[in-house]
């Protein structure tokens, strides 16, 4: 192509993707060329020679509206003067690197550096605080810990959504000050208890990332975060928000609650009767009662409140009084879950059960909360002379220490029944003899026993070795 002195004419002549030389024989070497793209825009190039071969280096788009003498590019592209200045810079750079391969070798080095930078960025994206919290939630879930649901919600609402930049930064960059900012936000919103829970979950997540180097049972995924220090451990929890809610139901309130649910037909009231008459078991465990864990006079729950990695502990609870009839209303012999509104396919949620209780109670009991049933029953049993040990076995919250974990193999079923007899007598107004009579009649009806058959002695204990049978 011949050099074209009239640049304006040359630019107008661009068509079909052909290259046109706008200025040849530049002072520092090479030439300025242009080509019209399929979009209609004009692309400028610096053309140069290296080792006998011709090369073109893209400069940028031509901006016809740019000041003719402006040497810096505009937001839309280059003027001819700015393009010539860029050609000069490229020529100088090419000449300075002639011994190392010129401009092309520099481009190769930059591409390699860019790939390395992109690899580091991709690796860091897998080491973020967000990813660490996700890994910890999955770890809790794999351990069968129901707390994974609570941890997921607290992380999402109070550590990720309000702190996006912190969540997307490497987990190793989290500072104690940032942790305290998260906690202060909750304290100032009147959610101190949630703040302490957030701190506990964060601290546990970082501790897993630390302990992965010394504890083989922790998943290898935690090692990728390269955590060297636990920033949450350098903060302190606010103890005033950890005080227990000591508002147990009084005996009068428990009796009033029983009268509200005793004779109401339907699944909601039956679930609430079962909850009360089994000693106020943890709601999150009761709602997940499996149909395979029903017996004629007991149910088996699974306590997930133990130490992490220990798995769920079976917890056998006797059925006395109307608890059997309440369970019989729920058990349909089909599906996985005994307490369900989907034919056993899915369990009801804790929120659903609490909603049922609130709907049935209404305004009849001031300050009603379903969780207060558990502490109310604990208080009732204590005032009735039931020992702390038996209360702990009944409600599955007193099994600590080496003796309880390793040496005491007694199932405490007889003692649990006696404690439940106290509940039925005091709350439902039924005497122990009536309780035994009702239980015997229900047992006979369920299995077709003759009315004159001798009742089973009270000392008989149902153990885990007995076969599990579904209620009819």
CA angle 156, 230, 208 (to 5 degrees): 70
Q: How does the average pLDDT of the chain come out, rounded?
A: 82
Model confidence at 445, pLDDT cuts 50, 70, 90, reads: very low
pLDDT confidence of residue 402: 43
Contact call for residues 271 and 356 (beta carbons, < 8 A) = yes
Over the stretch 116-170, which tens digit does the pLDDT of each residue have?
A: 776 665 555 578 999 999 999 999 988 877 788 899 999 999 999 999 999 999 9
Model confidence at 100, pLDDT cuts 50, 70, 90, reads: confident
Residue predicted with more confidence, 320 or 469: 320
pLDDT confidence of residue 174: 95
pLDDT higher than 70, residue 40: yes
pLDDT higher than 60, residue 1: no
Model confidence at 319, pLDDT cuts 50, 70, 90, reads: very high
Model confidence at 101, pLDDT cuts 50, 70, 90, reads: confident
Residue predicted with more confidence, 175 or 313: 175
Residue predicted with more confidence, 443 or 226: 226
pLDDT confidence of residue 245: 57
Contact call for residues 412 and 294 (beta carbons, < 8 A) = no
Model confidence at 451, pLDDT cuts 50, 70, 90, reads: very low
Question: For residues 336 and 294, what is the distance between their CA atoms, to the nearest angstrom?
Answer: 11
pLDDT confidence of residue 177: 96
Over the stretch 232-246, which tens digit does the pLDDT of each residue have?
A: 999 998 888 776 556
pLDDT confidence of residue 227: 93
* Average pLDDT of the residues in 28-36: 89
Over the stretch 384-421, which tens digit does the pLDDT of each residue have?
A: 999 999 999 998 875 554 444 544 557 789 999 999 99
pLDDT confidence of residue 98: 75
Q: How far is CA 96 from CA 93, 101, 104, 109, in A?
A: 5, 10, 12, 15
Class of domain 129-241 (CATH, top level) = mainly alpha
Global pTM reads 0.56
pLDDT confidence of residue 124: 57
* Average pLDDT of the residues in 340-357: 91
Residue predicted with more confidence, 431 or 336: 336
Q: What are the DSSP calls for 56-71, one per residue?
A: EEEEEEB-TTS-TT--
pLDDT confidence of residue 25: 84
Residue predicted with more confidence, 435 or 392: 392
List, in order, residues 6 or more apart from 244 with CB less than 8 Å away.
none
Question: For residues 151 and 371, what is the distance between their CA atoms, to the nearest angstrom?
Answer: 20
Model confidence at 439, pLDDT cuts 50, 70, 90, reads: very low
The domain segmentation of the chain, as residue ranges, is 7-117, 129-241, 251-447
pLDDT confidence of residue 168: 93
Q: How far is CA 465 from CA 66, 153, 461, in A?
A: 89, 39, 11
pLDDT higher than 70, residue 42: yes
pLDDT confidence of residue 247: 79
* Average pLDDT of the residues in 18-27: 86
Q: Where are the alpha helices (DSSP H) in 226-371?
A: 251-261, 267-277, 283-286, 323-330, 350-361
pLDDT confidence of residue 303: 81
* Average pLDDT of the residues in 52-77: 90
pLDDT confidence of residue 467: 41
Question: For residues 108 and 105, what is the distance between their CA atoms, to the nearest angstrom?
Answer: 5
Model confidence at 4, pLDDT cuts 50, 70, 90, reads: very low
Model confidence at 469, pLDDT cuts 50, 70, 90, reads: very low
Q: What CATH architecture is 251-447?
A: Orthogonal Bundle (1.10)
Instruction: Let me know how long the chain is.
Output: 472
Question: For residues 295 and 324, what is the distance between their CA atoms, to the nearest angstrom?
Answer: 10
């Amino acid at each position: 192509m011949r050099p074209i002195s009239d640049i304006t004419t040359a630019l107008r002549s661009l068509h079909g993707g052909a290259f046109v030389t706008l200025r040849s024989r530049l002072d520092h070497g090479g030439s300025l060329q242009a080509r019209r793209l399929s979009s209609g825009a004009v692309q400028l190039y610096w053309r140069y020679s290296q080792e006998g071969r011709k090369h073109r280096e893209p400069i940028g788009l031509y901006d016809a509206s740019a000041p003719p003498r402006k040497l810096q590019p505009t937001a839309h592209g280059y003027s001819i003067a700015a393009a010539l200045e860029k050609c000069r810079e490229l020529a100088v750079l090419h000449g300075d690197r002639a011994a190392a391969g010129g401009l092309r070798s520099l481009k190769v080095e930059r591409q390699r550096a860019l790939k390395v930078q992109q690899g580091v960025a991709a690796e860091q994206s897998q080491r973020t605080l967000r990813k660490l919290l996700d890994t910890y939630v999955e770890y809790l879930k794999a351990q069968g810990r129901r707390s994974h649901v609570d941890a997921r919600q607290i992380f999402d609402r109070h550590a990720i959504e309000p702190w996006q930049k912190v969540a997307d930064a490497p987990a190793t960059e989290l500072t104690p000050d940032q942790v305290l900012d998260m906690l202060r936000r909750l304290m100032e919103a009147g959610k101190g208890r949630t703040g302490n829970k957030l701190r506990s979950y964060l601290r546990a997540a970082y501790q897993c990332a630390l302990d992965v180097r010394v504890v083989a049972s922790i998943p290898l995924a935690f090692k990728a975060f390269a955590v060297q220090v636990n920033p949450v451990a350098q903060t302190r929890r606010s103890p005033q928000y950890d005080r227990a809610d000591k508002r147990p139901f009084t005996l009068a309130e428990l009796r009033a609650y029983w009268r509200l649910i005793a004779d109401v037909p339907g699944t909601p009231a039956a679930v609430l009767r079962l909850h009360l008459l089994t000693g106020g078991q943890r709601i999150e465990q009761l709602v997940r009662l499996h149909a395979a864990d029903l017996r004629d006079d007991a149910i088996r729950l699974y306590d997930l409140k133990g130490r992490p990695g220990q798995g769920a502990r079976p917890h056998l609870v006797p059925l006395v009084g109307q608890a059997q009839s309440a369970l019989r209303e729920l058990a349909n012999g089909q599906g996985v879950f005994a307490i369900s509104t989907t034919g056993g396919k899915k369990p009801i949620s804790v929120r659903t059960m609490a909603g049922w209780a609130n709907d049935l109670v209404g305004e009849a009991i001031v300050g009603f909360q379903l969780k207060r049933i558990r502490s109310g029953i604990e208080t009732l049993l204590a005032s009735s002379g039931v020992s702390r040990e038996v209360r702990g076995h009944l409600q599955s919250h007193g099994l600590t220490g080496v003796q309880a974990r390793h040496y005491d193999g007694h199932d405490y079923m007889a003692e649990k029944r006696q404690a439940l007899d106290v509940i039925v007598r005091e709350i439902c107004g039924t005497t122990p003899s009536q309780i035994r009579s009702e239980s015997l009649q229900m047992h006979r009806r369920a299995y077709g026993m003759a009315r004159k058959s001798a009742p089973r002695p009270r000392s008989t204990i149902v153990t885990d070795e007995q076969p599990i049978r579904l209620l009819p």
